Structure 1
Amino acid sequence: MSIPAILALEDGSIFRGLAIGATGTSVGEVVFNTAMSGYQEILTDPSYARQIVTLTYPHIGNTGTNAEDEESTAIWAAGLVIRDLPLLASNYRDEQDLSSYLASRNIVAIADIDTRRLTRILREKGAQNGCLMAGDIDEDAALKQARAFAGLKGMDLAREVTVSESYEWREGSWVLGKGHATRADSELPWHVVAYDFGVKRNILRMLVDRGCRLTVVPAQTPAADVLALNPDGIFLSNGPGDPEPCDYAIAAIQAILETDIPVFGICLGHQLLGLASGATTVKMKFGHHGANHPVQNLDDGTVLITSQNHGFAVDESTLPDNLRMTHQSLFDKSLQGIHRTDKDAFSFQGHPEASPGPHDAAPLFEHFIELIQARAAKD
């Protein structure tokens, strides 16, 4: 039996379709993602907390879902919007169809709407607050809920998605026929402490692949506690929301930068490194969400096709003298990478771990290891 669903935007637009997940109501910031694959990784990326994700690729769900492709322990997206849900899922790794996967996790989702029209609205007007409603429909109530949503500006979500206790991580990247192999400490010479502001598992795996044994700590862990672990390097993870309210993280990073320990940040971690170094951040019109974004490495002129997911950016015009710009988006010229000139600290706005997406930016992980090795050689 078909269950009706709607998506109401704060500008008054109403999209009517069919429910493909749980019944009920969900509100959040509506964004669009241009990736052609990886819908499960997108849904479970904590960086999408409080966001309703529209996928512009029309056929979503045709490879089903499986536990190995989850980037965290839960679906963090506030909802899913797609054009078409295929009747069959075709993949030897498929464990559960997408609709059942969403329903079992109480995620509201809608299909059979014009996602092209929705994407044009978001491009022209910017990210919109919205309300997904499935089952008993009340369009006026949905509009009111969409307009009542406070928006992500000023919202500290890192403290909501982070872990409550630290843990160790030794799992490497997925290998055909083997899955995710766990590495022995004897194979992992470098101890890296990773701040979890909403970390994706594939980031941790790619660090393990490069010889790092990881201690993952909650977002609000003081710098003194991290330094007491005597790490070879410190990683600042991706995460959702506005970086400016994360004063606890900014203070911790500033204290860490007083040492000579190499620091690497991705996404929210990149923005927090910028703020800790004296730059400011801005809310973008509709952000960058996709797996096909060209970014130029300003040091050598090469162009990387990257995975992106962010609605805030470091403001290039506010970079202090001790920060240099290393990467730039070729879509809108926004800042994509920074490197401290006085410290072994750098960061990247996009997602070099991909998942989903290309791995052009993966060498950034190697740069982090090079900094760790150089410091160890001095000692």
Structure 2
Amino acid sequence: MLDTIQALLDTFPEGVVQLRSGAVAAVNAMARHYLPQLEPGQPCPEALLLPRSGPMGAGTFAAGPAVYTYSCAAARGEQTVLFRPAPQTALTQRQLEGVIYQLRTLLGEVLAEVGPATAAPETPVAADAFSKSFHRLFRLVGNLEYMQQAAGAEGVLFRPVTMDLDGLCRHVVQQAYSLLREVGVELEYEAAQTGLLIPGDPELLQRLLLGLIANAARAAGGGRVTLSLRRQGGRALAAVSDNGPLPDAKQIAAIFQQGGGEDLPLPGQGAGLGLPIARHIVALHKGSLLVEWGQSAPSVVLSLPTGPLDGRVSVHTPAIQRDGGLDPVLTELSDLLPPRLFGLEGLD
């Protein structure tokens, strides 16, 4: 019987691992090829993040220099994980169509806001609406630039330092809290400890957290979003969850790009670049990202290594400022916030 199960597992083109009570119960030949340390009886690799709040999940994890995508399902006390090497970061056809669609929409909004002033110079431009559209457009271009750099030979600029992840989480929540309350979303932060040092790039991690919070706030639709942080072994676990409704099967498939991708994003949904960028930032940090779901709304869990830490003082060439002088929090949340929060002096 065991030989039959093993023969069945070996027919899978993906790596397959069966886990029981946190230990490897069975593993196929392809999984051993990718991760030779996988052996029956050995504990589950720390980098492989498993669902805790639901029976299913999918995401990415890094093992050495390689990055893998994986999915996980639990049944009868066992967890089955399928994984394969992650594809190279590049725009999919659906994402490219989503970008073009959103770009046309934003340019149409800008024209509607500025057009009346060109026809009648005495008519003032609605500064707040124009500023909101500009922030949204700047965010879209920034995401496109990130994807272009990620697929390029030099890659995305990555500047890890010894940083306090707890401090960064508190700062992000403090900056976004009052803004999200304007759209009826309560943002909470829960930490199991004060101070949690990791090697990381603060700018990229702030972008990652803000993006995940924005996605959760959009899904919550006037509910509650929670960012939590705790330490587990040699990893820092940060989770973003909300109390919004459970997505249907089509929406779940879209999250993991398992569907055909024929539908364009709806207004306010973005171009579909947020999760690929999040996965890439996590991979740069040799971490894992898991989207898990069950009977409640999906939650996103990040697992980042807490070492090795460099105690030396490092001197870096200053990075080129790429935020255009805009508030990065306003930029990341621009799809959600009302125009009055972007108000400027009247434009002539």
Q: Which band: TM-score by shorter chain? A: under 0.3
Structure having greater relative contact order (Cα 8 Å, sep ≥ 6): 2
Per residue, is there more helix in 1 or in 2?
2
Larger radius of gyration: 2
More strand by share: 1
TM-score, L = length of structure 1? 0.26
- TM-score computed with the length of structure 2 as normaliser: 0.28
